[in-house]
Amino acid sequence: MEYYLVKWKGWPDSTNTWEPLQNLKCPLLLQQFSNDKHNYLSLVNKGKAISLKDNNKALKPAIAEYIVKKAKQRIALQRWQDELNRRKNHKGMIFVENTVDLEGPPSDFYYINEYKPAPGISLVNEATFGCSCTDCFFEKCCPAEAGVLLAYNKNQQIKIPPGTPIYECNSRCQCGPDCPNRIVQKGTQYSLCIFRTSNGCGWGVKTLVKIKRMSFVMEYVGEVITSEEAERRGQLYDNKGITYLFDLDYESDEFTVDAARYGNVSHFVNHSCDPNLQVFNVFIDNLDTRLPRIALFSTRTIYAGEELTFDYQMKGSGDISSDSLDHSPAKKRVRTVCKCGAVTCRGYLN
């Protein structure tokens, strides 16, 4: 007869008991137990023919240890998922998944919904004027006042070319929350999943629903720091083989967004030399051209289950020239090898 060692919820390990199968009324936990055991045996046997009856006397300590670690990881990831959804302020739900290894939640990451200014940096988030339109599609709205075209069509898809700024209606505008020129400020509308990749790229993000082309997906947020501080941190990040620095170079190069410790779902989006997300600079309440908000829009239809990626070197300009790359300060630092696997892969992230 099979017996299972049971850890009772809310009770210490000293009260653990051995129970026969008929005493267990937890089909989901039993299925997870069986799956974890099978996954471990598959890993150690590396695809060889195996029998789950090989350990008919008792589970080997290594298998038992793996199953316990996997169970603890599952609990930790569920708690992290709950925390992320408590902190986010947008419609789309956040899910977490790791079927690859035993990695748990990141230990030094804090979820935020908007820019976090570093000490000494001021972010003025109050607009000085707003529109009085009754229909922002047909009247002289905020984009026209800024000398640019309205960014969206009536299907809430972006219609301007990359490199063109987006000016949305702000808190001083008289149009309501259903105004067609309020897209980025409403936040992510799609349910997304932070998942562990199987190609060595760590965590990644995939969509759980279909995303139409040219649709807003998410903002890139983090800590706003000076370019000088970004250069110092960049040396450290490159040595670790990571990169979270995003230059706010729409009109100047005074500031950088660092999403290493503070960020949202975009912190986990991987790089690709052939991405499905495009960067745009956005101005809403803060009209300081040195401090645009960074929005990521889909470049094509993205299907449920597909990983989301953007080009780390794009920086909102919509163009990557060999000249700009040749003079990049990153050339003087450690090169980080790119693992995107695209046919057009440039070989390095920086």
306 burial type by CB count under 10 A (0-12 exposed, 13-18 middle, 19+ buried): middle
Q: Would you say residue 263 lies in a domain?
A: yes
- Residues belonging to the binding site for Zn(2+) are 131, 133, 136, 141-142, 169, 173, 175, 179, 273, 338, 340, 345
Q: CB–CB of 285/170 below 8 Å?
A: yes
Q: Would you say residue 127 lies in a domain?
A: yes
Q: Would you say residue 106 lies in a domain?
A: yes
CA 292-169-93 angle, to 5 degrees, is: 75
- Residues belonging to the binding site are 131, 133, 136, 141-142, 169, 173, 175, 179, 273, 338, 340, 345
Q: Would you say residue 146 lies in a domain?
A: yes
Other Cβ atoms less than 10 A from the Cβ of 144: the count is 15
List Cβ neighbours of 48 (8 Å cut-off, separation of 6 or more): none
Q: Would you say residue 193 lies in a domain?
A: yes
> Cα–Cα distances in Å, from 170 out to 77, 109, 133, 176?
37, 30, 12, 10
* pLDDT number for residue 330: 39
One-letter amino acid of 51: S
**Into how many domains does the chain fold?**
1
* pLDDT number for residue 167: 97
Q: Would you say residue 278 lies in a domain?
A: yes
**DSSP code at position 306:** P
Q: Give the residue among 330, 185, 184, 206 at the shortest CA–CA distance from 256.
A: 330
Q: How far apart are CA 258 and CA 110, in angstroms?
A: 12
115 token code pair:
């820019």
Q: Which positions are catalytic?
A: 220, 312
* pLDDT number for residue 21: 93
Q: In order along the chain (350 residues), what is the average pLDDT of each group of 10 residues?
A: 90 95 93 91 66 62 92 96 97 96 95 96 85 93 94 96 95 93 97 95 96 98 96 88 87 93 96 94 94 97 97 62 34 68 81
Size of the chain in residues: 350
CATH number at residue 266: 2.170.270.10
* pLDDT number for residue 27: 94
Residue matched to tokens 């309020």: 182
* pLDDT number for residue 60: 86
Other Cβ atoms less than 10 A from the Cβ of 158: the count is 22
Domain of residue 159 covers 93-310
Other Cβ atoms less than 10 A from the Cβ of 301: the count is 13
**β 255-258/223-226 pair status:** antiparallel
**Entry pTM:** 0.87
Q: Would you say residue 16 lies in a domain?
A: no
* pLDDT number for residue 246: 93
> Cα–Cα distances in Å, from 94 out to 27, 73, 77, 205, 303?
26, 18, 12, 10, 17
Q: Would you say residue 190 lies in a domain?
A: yes
